[in-house]
Amino acid sequence: MREEKLIAYLKGAFKGRRRTIKSAELERAMEMSGTDLRKLVNKLRRKSVPICSGADGYFYAKTAGDILRTIRKLKVMIKGLQAAVDGLEAALDKFVEPDGAPAETQQSGLGGERRNSEVSESCRLRQDEGYRACDDGKGGEDTV
Is residue 134 within 8 Å of 142, Cβ to Cβ? Answer: yes
Domain ranges of the chain: 2-132
- pLDDT-derived band of residue 126, with 50, 70 and 90 as boundaries? very low
Residue 107: the pLDDT is: 53
Is residue 144 within 8 Å of 131, Cβ to Cβ? Answer: yes
pLDDT digits (tens, 9 = 90+) for 84-105: 999 999 999 888 777 766 666 5
pLDDT digits (tens, 9 = 90+) for 7-21: 999 999 999 999 999
Neighbours of 56 (CB within 10 A): 13
Q: How many helices (H) and strands (E) does the chain have?
A: 4, 4
Q: How far is CA 134 from CA 106, 118, 137, 138, 141, in A?
A: 19, 9, 8, 7, 6
pLDDT digits (tens, 9 = 90+) for 30-48: 999 999 999 999 999 999 9
Residue 112: the pLDDT is: 47
